[in-house]
Structure 1
Amino acid sequence: MDELAVTTDVYVSPAEAFEFLLDFESYAEYTKYLDRVSCTHGDGGPGSRYAFRFSWWKLTYTARSEVTDVEPPTRIDWRVTKDVDAHGSWLVEPLEPLPAEAPADAEEGSRVTFEVRFDAESADESAVSLPRFVSFGRVLDRVRPLVREEAERVVRRAVRELEGREREVRLDVRSEDGPSGDGGTR
């Protein structure tokens, strides 16, 4: 099973970060490959289900997911409900004290982590219509690094949206291969 965790600091309260992350339908605004998110059941709490419509290269795919647990304002757990074994969490912790690099006007802070665990080999190749002569294995090999790239992009853009300004964002990235080679700074 592949594992990925992307952590950063954002200078808003844990409650504000949590409410932002619970708004799954806005996620398409922060990603490159996600076209839209539709709530198919629920209000964001446990049992809520979503359809995530992805497009990449010549492929489109709708992932179905379910919120499995919510612990305001610290944790949102989810799982993919078809085609691949995948699950993860958003974790939010108070950032106390604020680090020296915090913006001068920051009054509160949160440490936010996106975690995902997935078994790419569990993917159901019948779920995706591939062009002729393109193997499912080759597609999987190309998708794995995109998962990491996209997770980093989502976290950076979420920080920009939450704080209302552009800034350099430090990401700590952990994967099954260990920490990123540059100490996590991105």
Structure 2
Amino acid sequence: MDELVVSTEVYADPEDVYAFLLDFPRYADYSEYLREVRTLEGEGGPGTRYALTFAWWKITYTAHSRVTGVDPPGRIDWEVTKDIDASGCWRVTPATAGDSDSTADDSDDGTDAADPTDDPNPCEVALEVEFDPGSASSDALDLPTLVSFDWVLKKAIPLIRGEAERVVERAVRDLEDSTRDVDLDVYVDSARI
């Protein structure tokens, strides 16, 4: 299994972060390649099923996923239910007093700016993904003539990291209602990503 974890601090209440991340249809707003997320069944809890429509190059593909577990406000587990062995979770870890070494910065004009980092106790948010590219079904895509499934995988897998980073960064900016630079910590256990 290949593994990717993208994490960062977010200056918001853990319960608000959790509720925000539980809204899977919102993810299309943060992704370059995810065009739409439709709820097929459920209201966000375990068993909720989604259809996620991706578009890249000349390919459009709809993945199906399901929420497999929730532990408010700390964790949302999910899995892809067809065509590839993939799963993951959103993890929200509340800070305890003294966890953060962040300090508020002054704005460029020398005045104190409203800054989300004024909160001394941010929480950590992490998107964790595990997948097995070898389990991907070649029957899942309607490919143009002379385009091999292996070529598509070779080109698409490296895009996963950028997409995960983009989703986390944009979600944090919306949660904080800010435009600050979001520092991401990225862990990759794969030579392909």
Q: Do both proteins adopt the same fold according to a TM-score greater than 0.5, normalized to the shorter chain? A: yes
Of stretches 68-77 and 105-114 in structure 1, the one that deviates more from structure 2 is: 105-114
Give the Cα–Cα distance (whole angstroms) in 2 for the partners of residues 29 and 65 of structure 1: 18
Matches within 5 A, 1:125-140: 125-140=138-153
Give identity over the alignment, percent: 52
Secondary structure of the residue that 1:99 maps to in structure 2?
coil
Residue number in structure 1 paired with 2:181: 168
Residue number in structure 1 paired with 2:53: 53
Report whether the alignment pairs 1:73 with 2:86.
Answer: no
Report whether the alignment pairs 1:29 with 2:29.
Answer: yes
Give, as a single letter, the amino acid of the residue that structure 1 aligns with 2:41.
H
Contact 1:10 1:163 in 2 (8 A): yes
Report whether the alignment pairs 1:145 with 2:158.
Answer: yes
Secondary structure of the residue that 2:26 maps to in structure 1?
helix
Give the Cα–Cα distance (whole angstroms) in 2 for the partners of residues 107 and 40 of structure 1: 40
Residue number in structure 1 paired with 2:136: 123
Residues 30 and 132 (structure 1), Cα distance of their counterparts in 2 relative to 1, 3 Å cut:
same
- Structure 2: segments with no counterpart, 5+ residues: 105-114
Give the Cα–Cα distance (whole angstroms) in 2 for the partners of residues 58 and 19 of structure 1: 34
Give the Cα–Cα distance (whole angstroms) in 2 for the partners of residues 73 and 95 of structure 1: 13
Give the Cα–Cα distance (whole angstroms) in 1 for the partners of residues 43 and 186 of structure 2: 30
Structure number with bigger Rg: 2
Residues 2 and 17 (structure 1), Cα distance of their counterparts in 2 relative to 1, 3 Å cut:
same
CA shift digits 1:7-63 (9 cap, x unpaired): 100000110110000000111001100111011000100000000000000000000
- Structure 1: segments with no counterpart, 5+ residues: 181-186
Aligned pairs, number: 179
Give the Cα–Cα distance (whole angstroms) in 2 for the partners of residues 34 and 170 of structure 1: 23
Q: C-alpha root-mean-square deviation of aligned residues, in Å?
A: 1.6
